[in-house]
Amino acid sequence: MNQQQQSAAQAHINKYWGTKNCPCCGGYSFTMHPELAVAPTVHEGREIDLNKGTPLIVMRCNRCSYSIFFNGNTIGVF
Distance, CA of 45 to CA of 26 (rounded, Å) = 39
**pLDDT > 80? residue 33:** yes
- In sign, the C-alpha dihedral spanning 30, 33, 36, 38 is negative
Query: Is the overall model pTM greater than 0.75, yes or no?
Result: yes
For 58-76, what is the mean pLDDT? Answer: 94
Q: Is 36 within 8 Å of 56 (Cβ atoms)?
A: yes
Q: Please tell me the predicted confidence (pLDDT) of residue 49.
A: 80
